[in-house]
């Protein structure tokens, strides 16, 4: 019968190590827990192995720690992997599987090496006595702040499995909505790249050949032609410097956007852009309503749910506005009237519906319905904007190419006068 080396904590917190005979890993885990111990590490021991003093894993577990990435394997936790982890953990907990064993099953069954390592890390931290939300907070690159806040609310309220299921559903809807946005923007982006490519080709290869024709004549070129030739010469002679300037400007802008002041300034400017600003506000409202309705449906208290839901908005200017509404709710005012102060995010009709739902005790259902309705409206508006963006991009391309063509053709009509 195989032997398993374990390290576990006694009730007084003292770590102990030992060997145990078991037919498989699950049986070994049950025997260790049956002795009143809290397992920290458990690995199949090799023949003649002795418990290690350092607590390092042996056998199969050491092999897990020394994994190497294979071709085609993701090098970070993707949203799809995180959603699968969330949904599986929720299902295991709902089925009555002990928490530590559920985490152990998930990290053992993970197909991707990066996921196996991350879930094993989370499992180890939880086994050491850390809460799941605190363990996840140590990996902010994997678990978003909203995710951690919802897990913390579920742990506090004792309905972690329900909250995890709600998180998985929320992630699926978010991914679907983002996929729609990316799909809608793909064709205009391709047109933009095509326009830039055509302009570069004309400026670098086409216009210099026309210059050779004009150089043999001492005629004064039209202003439009002079401007086009000047841009072409600048691109050909200083293209690398221009490219370096664009890269430096992009890096500087990126750093500015990351700063608190820069982000707030930019987000405030975006909200004032016609068509774009209201669309982003609707998107933020849909996220807020879905998150708040999800949390309330899971049994999270209103104030805690509001504090978590506001983090899902994304726009810091709108987050500040919602924070003021939360302060009014804390003072005892109704949610609808508190949100009414922020008309940018919550139109009058939405506030009325929230107020009525609050009075009838169906706030969570109404918030989810509002989110679904708003997301449907957003989908239709995005389709309309994309339908408008496609011909607009074609018009811009045609205008740029046509301007260059006209600027280079006009002098040709005057060449015959100089030839005579």
Residues 10 and 50 grouped into a single domain: yes
The answer to whether residue 201 is domain-embedded is yes
Q: Are residues 239 and 385 in the same domain?
A: yes
- Whether 71 shows a pLDDT value over 80: the answer reads no
Determine which of 14-28, 51-65, 131-145, 300-314 has the lowest per-residue pLDDT on average: 51-65
41: left (phi over 0), alpha (psi -120 to 50) or beta: beta
For residue 153, is it within any domain?
no
**Residue the block writes with tokens 């931290």:** 125
What is the model's pLDDT at position 59? 37
One domain for residues 128 and 233? no
Residue 213 banded pLDDT, cuts 50, 70, 90: low
Predicted pLDDT of residue 123: 87
Residue 71 covered by a domain: no
Residue 91 CA: distances (Å) to CA of 99, 106, 161, 215:
11, 11, 7, 77
For the record, the structure tokens of 274 come out as 């016609």
Q: Which range marks the domain in which residue 236 is found?
A: 159-420
For residues 189 and 111, membership in a common domain is answered with no
Q: Token pair for residue 228?
A: 């086009």
Q: Within this chain, do residues 252 and 128 fall inside the same structural domain, yes or no?
A: no
Confirm whether 148 is domain-assigned: no
- pLDDT tens sequence across 344-361: 778 888 889 988 988 888
Residue 179 has pLDDT above 60, yes or no: yes
Give me 359's structure tokens: 């009075």
Task: Give residue for tokens 């074609």.
Answer: 394
pLDDT at position 420 is 53
Residues 312 and 380 in one domain: yes
Cβ count near 58 (within 10 Å): 18
At 167, give phi and psi (nearest 5°): -60, -45
| pTM over the 0.75 mark | no
Average pLDDT, the chain: 77
Residues 6+ apart with CB under 8 A from 210: 408
Residue 154 lies in a domain: no
Query: How many domains does the chain contain in total?
Result: 3
Give the CATH number of the domain where residue 205 resides. 1.20.81.30
**Predicted local distance difference test score (pLDDT) of residue 48:** 53
Q: Give the residue with greater pLDDT, 123 vs 182.
A: 123
**pLDDT tens for residues 188-208?**
778 778 878 877 787 777 777
Is residue 86 domain-shared with residue 200, that is, in the same domain? Answer: no
Q: Are residues 288 and 351 in the same domain?
A: yes
Token pair 């145990």 is at which residue? 20
Q: In terms of domains, do 166 and 269 share one?
A: yes
Residue 149 resides in a domain = no
Q: 331-344 pLDDT, tens per residue?
A: 888 888 888 877 77
Give 310 or 184, the one with higher predicted confidence: 310
Q: What pLDDT sits at residue 60?
A: 38
Choose the final residue of a domain: 65, 97, 118.
65
In terms of domains, do 37 and 100 share one? no
Token digits for 62? 């050491």
The answer as to whether 234 is a domain residue is yes
Examine the domain organization and report whether 312 and 163 are in the same domain.
yes
Q: What is the pLDDT of residue 215?
A: 64
Strand partners, 348: none
Question: pLDDT (tens digit, 9 = 90+) per residue, 384-401?
Answer: 777 777 788 778 778 877
pLDDT, greater one: 302 or 74: 302
How far apart CA 302 and CA 54 sit, in angstroms, is 47
Residue 70 located in a structural domain = no
Whole-number pLDDT of residue 68:
38
Mapping DSSP onto H, E and C, the string for the chain reads CCEEEEEEECCCCCEEEEEEECCCHHHHHHHHHHCCCEEEEEEECCCCCCCCCCCCCCCHHHHHHCCCCCCCCCCCCCHHHHHHHHHHHHHHHHCCCCHHHHHHHHHHHCCCHHHHHHHHHHHHHHHCCCCHHHHHHCCCCCCCHHHHHHHHHHHHHCCHHHHHHHHHHHHHHHHHHHHHHHHHHHHHHHHHHHHHHHHHHHHHHHHHHHHHHHHCCCCCCCHHHHHHHHHHHHHHHHHHHHHHHHHHHHHHHHHHHHCHHHHHHHHHHHHCCCCHHHHHHHHHHHHHHHHHHHHHHCCCCHHHHHHHHHHHCCCHHHHHHHHHHHHHHHCCCCHHHHHCCCCCCCCHHHHHHHHHHHHHCCHHHHHHHHHHHHHHHHHHHHHHHHHHHHHHHHHHHHHHHHHHHHHHHHHHHHHHHHHC
pLDDT, greater one: 86 or 46? 86
| Separation CA 142–CA 76 (nearest Å) | 8
Give the pLDDT mean for 148-175.
79
21 and 125 both lie in a single domain: no
What's the pLDDT band for 70 if we cut at 50, 70, 90? Answer: very low
Please enumerate in sequence order all residues whose Cβ is within 8 A of that of 204, keeping only pairs 6 or more positions apart, or say none: 232, 235, 236, 239
């Amino acid at each position: 019968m195989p032997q398993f080396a374990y390290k576990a904590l006694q009730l007084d917190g003292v770590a102990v190590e030992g060997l145990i005979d078991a037919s498989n890993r699950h049986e070994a885990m049950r025997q260790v827990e049956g002795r009143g111990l809290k397992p920290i590490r458990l690995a199949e021991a090799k023949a003649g192995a002795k418990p290690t003093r350092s607590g390092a894993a042996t056998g199969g577990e050491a092999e897990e720690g020394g994994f190497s990435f294979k071709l085609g394997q993701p090098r970070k936790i993707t949203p799809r992997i995180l959603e699968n982890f969330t949904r599986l953990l929720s299902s295991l907990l709902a089925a009555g599987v002990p928490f530590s064993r559920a985490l152990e099953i998930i990290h053992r069954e993970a197909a991707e090496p990066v996921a196996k390592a991350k879930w094993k890390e989370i499992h180890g931290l939880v086994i050491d006595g850390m809460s799941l939300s605190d363990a996840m907070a140590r990996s902010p690159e994997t678990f978003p702040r909203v995710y951690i806040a919802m897990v913390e609310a579920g742990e506090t309220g004792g309905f972690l499995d329900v909250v995890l299921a709600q998180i998985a559903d929320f992630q699926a809807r978010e991914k679907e909505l983002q996929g729609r946005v990316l799909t809608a923007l793909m064709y205009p982006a391709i047109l933009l790249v095509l326009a830039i490519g055509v302009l570069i080709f004309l400026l670098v290869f086409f216009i210099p050949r026309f210059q050779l024709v004009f150089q043999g004549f001492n005629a004064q070129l039209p202003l439009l032609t002079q401007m086009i030739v000047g841009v072409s010469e600048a691109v050909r002679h200083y293209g690398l410097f221009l490219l370096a300037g664009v890269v430096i400007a992009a890096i500087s802008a990126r750093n500015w956007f990351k700063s608190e002041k820069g982000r707030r300034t930019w987000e405030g400017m975006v909200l004032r852009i016609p068509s774009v600003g209201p669309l982003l506000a609707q998107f933020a409202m849909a996220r807020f309503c879905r998150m708040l309705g999800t949390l309330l449906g899971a049994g999270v208290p209103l104030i805690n749910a509001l504090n978590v839901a506001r983090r899902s908005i994304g726009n810091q200017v709108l987050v500040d506005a919602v924070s003021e509404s939360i302060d009014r709710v804390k003072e005892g005012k109704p949610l609808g009237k508190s949100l009414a102060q922020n008309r940018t995010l919550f139109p009058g009709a939405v506030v009325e519906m929230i107020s009525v739902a609050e009075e009838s005790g169906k706030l969570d259902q109404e918030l989810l319905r509002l989110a679904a309705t708003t997301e449907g409206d957003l989908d239709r508006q995005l389709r309309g904007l994309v339908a408008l963006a496609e011909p607009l991009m074609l018009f811009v391309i045609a205008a740029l190419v046509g301007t260059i063509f006209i600027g280079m053709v006009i002098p040709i009509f005057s060449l015959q006068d100089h030839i005579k």
